[in-house]
Structure 1
């Protein structure tokens, strides 16, 4: 079986706790090189892996033996690095949000098409067992007609796990572009559209900074969403949920309700109107902590798409649609009105 040579660009927490360990655990990948603007961080990571260390990603991309890269940098560099990597002949796994604008996302997709290489966006919540099962139940009609939903993702903030703590780029608009909505909300934007099988087309939102001081991005957001099929629900993202994280989703349907990731034992509970309840123990949802959590599934899926020359499970178009909801929420909050998402993005 083919072995894929990998370069990891960005050696912060998401690389150290997710991408790198999962590449190491995958029998079909080997990490050839790493890159980080902080020289010591790059060298330390490389020494652990027996890989080459770079501080300039352009130099890493010149290595023709590297077949694929993970882009694990601050948000504002996602698009440019991904585009450069694609044109350098590398397959790309890019962290979310894929870009800071619809135009950047489109340019990434064009680069994928022109280069003939693969672009996958690391929306890991699609691979969570409870979410996979819930999508199956919804698609099979177990809930009948879906009426509404609510999905949330909140914790105490990236200072609790980011490699730079309170000095993290997550808090600086020029590097992050957006705060809790880009860190957490985009996960749920992708998830709810994945679960329901239809895009969000209208958004109304309050996107605020009311919990943390001395930051230039949002830390609390509440959004009202409407899908193309007329389903309505809420999405919330927060860096002010303490002391416990909330990563739950509830789907309300004609024949019952699904509760996802709101019970420590049963990751999915289905309550049906006929009085029947089914509780699933499918394993816990992954976190960014280095605490032995289950694999996110992202690296394995990306690798499989390369080895088998198959379509990636989370495409650039998927990433762009998840980003569109976030951009619409920002626009709605700024304008004080509902915002529509059309074919060309936010209107």
Structure 2
């Protein structure tokens, strides 16, 4: 199948390039406003690349009716651009595969559903934790436990330098803030396992840390997200780690620090097999992070 990618110069784009390449598909067009995209030579050296969106659009349209017609557009752009870029993909005859968070506002999900109906194409979202072996086993374990309520403690600490605050990621209008940018896939995982949110409260919210409580249908969740390296636990610092993940369920530590390298490939494989996650699958987590932003 033929792909195009929007945002090929971004941090997450190589995982999409690798998935497309390793699964035997072709990248015919790529766009990024920045031109530091030498990574493409490793995967698709013959791909047409543009820094002007108008030229990219014209090229995608020129391929219609040919053997290189674009069937999927992968979207790896800043969060606030996801909705318009998904609309671009659908209205130009392609399905969309979009990074998390799918959108920043729940109303955009409804708008995109209208685009799906209008153009007969589909939106797929990258919910990679749903294909992580450890998470799949956890979901099965929780379902088999028969318990109607659980206590969950989530901690995610990932160090970021000064660049973060100067980039679009540090601008809440573009990224949606910490919860949207680094936490949305955890909220998706938790709602997938324990049900949708009932209550949300905040204990702390700054540019460096967000901490609060989310009551789900089957779990009470205390959570903390931070990019402040001074909050890393001592044992993580001593072992040279810059990231710390911890989930405790009913007091028991759940380990899932490994197994992240192949997840995008699994996401793509599921999409091609008719098992990909779409608009409605993203709704519960988008609703949570939008609410957090407003508190």
User: 1:33 and 2:12 equivalent?
Assistant: no
TM-score relative to the length of structure 1: 0.72
Report what 2:254 is aligned to. Answer: 260
> Superposed, which structure 2 residues align to 1:1-347 within 5 Å?
4-11=1-8, 12-16=10-14, 18-27=15-24, 29-38=25-34, 40-42=35-37, 44-48=38-42, 49=44, 50-55=46-51, 56=53, 57-59=56-58, 61-62=60-61, 63-64=63-64, 65-141=69-145, 144-157=147-160, 159=161, 167-176=166-175, 178-196=176-194, 198-209=195-206, 218-229=207-218, 231-241=219-229, 242=232, 243=237, 244-252=242-250, 258-261=252-255, 267=256, 284-286=258-260, 294-296=261-263, 298-306=264-272, 308=273, 310-312=274-276, 314-332=277-295
Q: Aligned pair in 2 of structure 1 residues 119, 60: CA closer, same or farther (>3 Å)?
A: farther
Alignment RMSD (CA, Å): 2.3
On the 8 A contact 2:4/2:74 being kept in 1, the answer is yes
CA apart distance, 1:22: 2.1
Q: Aligned pair in 2 of structure 1 residues 247, 61: CA closer, same or farther (>3 Å)?
A: farther
The answer to which structure has the higher helix fraction is 2
Structure 1 portions without partners, runs of 5+: 210-217, 262-266, 268-282, 287-293, 333-347
Report what 1:339 is aligned to. Answer: none
CA apart distance, 1:78: 0.4
CA apart distance, 1:150: 1.5
Q: Aligned pair in 2 of structure 1 residues 61, 311: CA closer, same or farther (>3 Å)?
A: farther
CA apart distance, 1:130: 0.9
How many angstroms apart in 2 are the aligned matches of 1:21 and 1:324?
Answer: 31
Q: Aligned pair in 2 of structure 1 residues 153, 59: CA closer, same or farther (>3 Å)?
A: farther
CA apart distance, 1:166: 6.1
Structure 2 portions without partners, runs of 5+: none
How many angstroms apart in 2 are the aligned matches of 1:201 and 1:22?
Answer: 36
SS at match of 2:27: strand
More deviation in 119-128 or 166-175?
166-175
On the 8 A contact 2:4/2:72 being kept in 1, the answer is yes
How many angstroms apart in 1 are the aligned matches of 2:59 and 2:202?
Answer: 41
How many angstroms apart in 2 are the aligned matches of 1:106 and 1:206?
Answer: 31
SS at match of 1:329: helix
On the 8 A contact 2:157/2:225 being kept in 1, the answer is yes
> Deviation per CA, 1:33-78, whole angstroms, max 9, x where unpaired?
211011x225x34444221102215345424311101110011100
> Deviation per CA, 1:249-301, whole angstroms, max 9, x where unpaired?
2221xxxx55322xxxxx4xxxxxxxxxxxxxxx8142xxxxxxx211x3433
On the 8 A contact 2:109/2:283 being kept in 1, the answer is yes
More deviation in 235-244 or 71-80?
235-244
How many angstroms apart in 2 are the aligned matches of 1:98 and 1:190?
Answer: 11
How many angstroms apart in 1 are the aligned matches of 2:164 and 2:201?
Answer: 32
SS at match of 1:250: strand
Q: Aligned pair in 2 of structure 1 residues 325, 30: CA closer, same or farther (>3 Å)?
A: same
> Deviation per CA, 1:59-108, whole angstroms, max 9, x where unpaired?
45424311101110011100000011112111111111111212222212
On the 8 A contact 1:146/1:251 being kept in 2, the answer is no
How many angstroms apart in 1 are the aligned matches of 2:172 and 2:221?
Answer: 28
On the 8 A contact 2:89/2:96 being kept in 1, the answer is yes
